[in-house]
Amino acid sequence: MPEGLLPDQAGAFVLPQTYPRSHRLRCRSEFTACYEGGKRCHTEHFILFVLPGGVEGYSRTGIAVSRKVGNAVVRNRIKRLLREFFRLHAACLPQGADVVAVAKRQAGDRQLDYARLEAELMPVVGRLARRFSVTGSGERPLDAGA
């Protein structure tokens, strides 16, 4: 069985429908470490903080949405969209790094749906994955193109 995939009733392999706790940042100290020591990437609606050198083998993600973004309904919707993005694109994230997504005030706009969020974050995630190698050191491997 391929790693990370679960068999469904028909025998095909599907992605798990949950995002395990081990793949999430949960403590304030973990978020603070990302804010203080991580690299920043800005998009129209989000700021991504990436701190290499987390848990080896997979990335951990955190989400921060302040009350400036909107009311509870809006904030929870943004968090659901970001969790779904991180769950579906976990393989694209830099391995061994901690990633925190902070929503900007404009993220509460009505026109932000999953398709727009994905189109906005995929180029950034691709750049981050190339920038932070699998080793988690933040440096490119020696054999990378010169």
Element (H, E) at 121: helix 114-131
* Residue-level pLDDT at 103: 96
83: CB partners within 8 A, 6+ apart? 19, 63
Classify residue 7: in a domain, yes or no. Answer: no
What's the rounded mean pLDDT across residues 13-35? 83
Classify residue 4: in a domain, yes or no. Answer: no
Classify residue 48: in a domain, yes or no. Answer: yes
pLDDT tens digits for range 86-116: 999 988 888 888 999 999 999 988 889 999 9
Classify residue 134: in a domain, yes or no. Answer: no
Is residue 21 very low, low, confident or very high in pLDDT (cuts 50, 70, 90)?
confident
Q: What is the CATH number of the domain that holds 113?
A: 3.30.230.10
* Residue-level pLDDT at 139: 46
Classify residue 141: in a domain, yes or no. Answer: no
Classify residue 9: in a domain, yes or no. Answer: no
**Number of domains within the chain:** 1
Classify residue 117: in a domain, yes or no. Answer: yes
pLDDT tens digits for range 49-86: 999 877 777 889 999 999 999 999 999 999 999 999 99
Q: Which domain holds residue 109?
A: 21-129
